[in-house]
Amino acid sequence: MSNDALGRLPHSYPFRFLDKVIEISRVRGVAIKNVTANEEFFQGHFKDDPIMPGALIIEALAQLAGLVMNHGDEKATGAYIAKVKDMKFKTKVSPGDTVTLIAEAQESFSNIAGFSVKAVVKDKTVAEGEIVMGANKDNSNVKVS
């Protein structure tokens, strides 16, 4: 899979939380985040037990959902988190983990789209829930699964 999709992210270091896009369509996206000990957030979260903050896992999932939402639309200018619903964190993400991120479109209306999202490490779900994204354009062509 070409990683041209990453170039469409409006985020840059240190706030880009996708390293590789595995699959991308108007229905679903799969991406990878390689979590290293050098991540800036580990400096204070937590000193003796480094854990990737849940809010940043949500951000990574939202970045992927935004790519799905805007896939194939050259005029798209970005997507923003409108709502996080029923997000559950099942275990921690630590340095050395490779997180597989999955976002699947569930519904859309105008410039809003809802996604079922999941983060997985070694075939174990570490977080899952729903994210609603908003965009600066009409997303009525988002495909839902």
**Catalytic annotation, residues:** 45
Two structure tokens written together for 55: 């809010």
Task: Report how far residue 97's alpha carbon sits from residue 115's, in angstroms, rounded to the nearest whole number.
Answer: 24
**Bridge-based pairing state of the strands 98-109 and 124-135:** unpaired
Task: Report how far residue 100's alpha carbon sits from residue 22's, in angstroms, rounded to the nearest whole number.
Answer: 9
Task: Report how far residue 97's alpha carbon sits from residue 103's, in angstroms, rounded to the nearest whole number.
Answer: 19
What is the number of other CB atoms lying within 10 angstroms of the CB of residue 10? 14
